[in-house]
Structure 1
Amino acid sequence: MKQSFLFINCDEAKHICDKAQYGEASSWERVKLTIRLAYCRVTQSYSSKNSKLTESIEKAEVKCLKAEERKKIENQFKAELAKQQQNN
């Protein structure tokens, strides 16, 4: 099947949707995605869920461990694991 330069399939639309969510999609890709969104309920649903997920992650304000904190916990875990292995 010959691929159209204007119409895209669902998989390509999902990929462009992901890129658009993070500002990485070109203007031409956004045009093709907009056309796809006009008639495809699957792509509309994916886009909506993708937006909600991104919004939820931004609202979560997740705090990550610093590298030294992570290393400290890892060392404590290894020490406890070594103790358990010596006891068995």
Structure 2
Amino acid sequence: MKLTCNQATTICDKSQYKEASFLELLKLNLHLFLCKKCGKYVKQNSILSKCYKKKRTIDCTKNQCLCDEEKRTMENNLKEKL
């Protein structure tokens, strides 16, 4: 049931994209209760995600968005590297 900090940050990232299971979220919350460094990571990660979403919204209104094909290519490249 115990998580390492690396596992906790991975679950944190997954949870932001709604990919974490209920059990993973439960483990993460327990870990965050005990580990202040990971709690700080969660806050910083949340802030970065909000900033990115805001920037993306602004860029899309200026027609500077990636097309669907470019998005798929980037997603595939990221999956290959993971």
Shared fold, TM over 0.5 = yes
Greater helix content: 2
Residues 65 and 11 of structure 1, relative CA distance in 2, 3 Å threshold: closer
Match of 1:48 in 2: 43
Task: Provide structure 2 residue ranges, at least 5 long, that are not aligned to the other structure.
Answer: 69-82
The RMSD of aligned alpha carbons is 1.5
Q: In 1, distance between residues paired with 2:53 and 2:33?
A: 27
* Equivalence for 2:2: 7
- Call closer, same or farther: CA 1:66–1:21 in 2, change over 3 Å: closer
Q: Which amino acid aligns with 1:64?
A: C
Q: Paired residues, what number? A: 62
Structure 2 counterpart SS, 1:47: helix
1:23 aligns with 2:28: no
Which protein is bigger by CA-based radius of gyration? 1
Structure 1, unmatched stretches of 5+, are 1-5, 68-88
